Amino acid sequence: MQVQFITAEVFNQHQEEFENANFLQTNEIAEVHKSSQFYEEIFYISWTEGERWIAQALVCVRRRFRFFKEAVIVQGPLFHLDELSLLPQMLESLEVFLKEKGISRVEMNPYLINKVLNESLEVIEECNYPELLSYFKEAGYHRSLDLEGGSVILQLFRKDLSLFETSDDIYNHLSNSLKRDLRKATESHIQIRELELDDLDIFYSILTETSLRKGFAVKDFTYFKKMKESFQDKAKYMVAFLDVEAYKAYYQERIEFFTNRVEELEKELAVREAEGKHVKKTRGLITDAKDQLASYQKRKKTFEALDIHNPMLALSGYLFMCYGDEVISVFGGSHDEYLTFGGSSLLNWEMMKFAKDNGYKYYNFYGTIETNQANQNEGNFNFKRQFGGNLVQLAGNFTKTLNPLLAFIAKFKKI
């Protein structure tokens, strides 16, 4: 088995042939990395036996302790799952190749499932590829599984859309509470729009504010601009906007409606009481109408306090990647003061419909944390699980030190 350099063009020809294909193992993401200069070197390799194309990988090189080079294969390498038995040979040949190139350490995290849990965090599938774990262990790789953090996505929430006939079928299976929230967002005149390249600052403003609130790091603006330039239509920056004037007209119409409703019911109540008729039902209707009226009056008061002057108010924004057989919600968030409008829920629902209507098999909520808050009905995982699906834990992060000196240093430094 041989490992060799290949060109970007050759890599691109094969990158969607593999079952574990993903956007982080593409020629497009390589162009993004090159523009950011985060990595010292980026190259493409293939594993072959004669004319047989076995596997390929996008390899990024970074420095460790200034003097050592580390090769990183994010969500790779790409290979056919029915040829998993070739992994020991692949690892052996890769290490020989990297040592010849002066690489001291290698890190990889194949895009393969290790465990599947349901919405109640009960394990329903255990270790889909047990041989993969044993192969890495026998080859001397250290496995880490930081599911709640780190720079590599090892845990995600994913919904299998192939289980449903249509997007209407998906909607019918959503919880009543989520359907109520989606109806409320739609009635409030929230509109979903895709941003053009010149408008990405709207998304970036939402993302950076969310990062400060949630405590996660965000790449600079040029990274997101390059993502759109490289992936084109596969990268969709979607934002939920509130049509301000339409929303004002909506809650004002509702206030007037329920004001009149209360007046009519109170007149009916007086008549029924004078006639000695049963009034319990009428009193109940009055209570309901007053509750609704109070709700819309509160909405008006709250919104007026925000002192909004823009005709279209950006609420929530996400970058969605449409690649392979899935639509992925990669980055995103919401302005804190507008969370109650439900823009994030409507945005994810509209993209889930888009995924189903355009033949994608999975809707992937991607990095999923805060599973410990599920019992309190809070957090990142709790938001995602209301749409239905499974928590998927990937195989892990595998590292091996190839340079004896770096191995010695690693005993005293945590790397």
Q: What is the DSSP string of 150-171?
A: SSS--EEEEEEGGGSSSHHHHH
Q: Can you tell me which residue has the tokens 């009226």?
A: 293
Q: How confident is the model at residue 362 (pLDDT cuts 50, 70, 90)?
A: very high
Query: Residue 128 burial (CB < 10 Å; 0-12/13-18/19+)?
Result: middle
Q: Is the pLDDT confidence value at 60 over 60?
A: yes
> Given pLDDT bands bounded at 50, 70 and 90, which one contains residue 133?
very high
H or E element at residue 270: helix 244-274
Q: Closest Cα to residue 237, out of 190, 211, 185, 201?
A: 201
Quick check: 52 and 24 in contact, CB under 8 A? no
Under the banding of pLDDT at 50, 70 and 90, the label for residue 254 is very high
C-alpha distances in angstroms, 103 versus 11, 107, 319, 328?
21, 11, 34, 32
Helices 27-36 and 221-231, interaxial angle, to 10°? 150
pLDDT (0 to 100) of residue 66:
80
Q: What is the model's pLDDT at position 287?
A: 96
Mean pLDDT in residue range 112-118: 93
pLDDT of residue 16: 92
- The DSSP symbol for 369 reads -
In the prediction, which pLDDT does 238 show?
98
Q: What is the pLDDT of residue 394?
A: 94
How far apart are the C-alpha atoms of 275 and 127, rounded to whole Å?
73
> For residue 237, what pLDDT band results from cuts at 50, 70 and 90?
very high
Residue 368's pLDDT is 79
Q: DSSP label at 80?
A: -
Identify the CA nearest to 401 among candidates 151, 144, 39, 141.
Answer: 141
- Taking 60 as the threshold, does the pLDDT of residue 415 lie above it? no
Strands (DSSP E) along 7-103, which ranges? 41-49, 52-64, 68-73, 78-79
Per-residue pLDDT tens over the stretch 176-204: 999 999 999 999 999 999 999 999 999 99
Contact 142, 410 (CB under 8 A): no
Region 343-358: mean pLDDT is 97
Report the alpha-carbon distance of residue 126 to residue 296 in Å, rounded. 49
For residue 333, the model assigns a pLDDT of: 92
Q: How much is the pTM?
A: 0.90
As a whole number, the mean pLDDT across the chain is: 92
CA angle 70, 156, 379 (to 5 degrees): 115
Residue with the bigger pLDDT between 399 and 404: it is 399
For residues 363-368, average pLDDT: 90
Cβ-based burial of 404 (10 A; exposed 0-12, middle 13-18, buried ≥19): exposed
Residue 320 pLDDT level (bands cut at 50, 70, 90): very high
The mean pLDDT of 212-233, rounded to a whole number, is 92
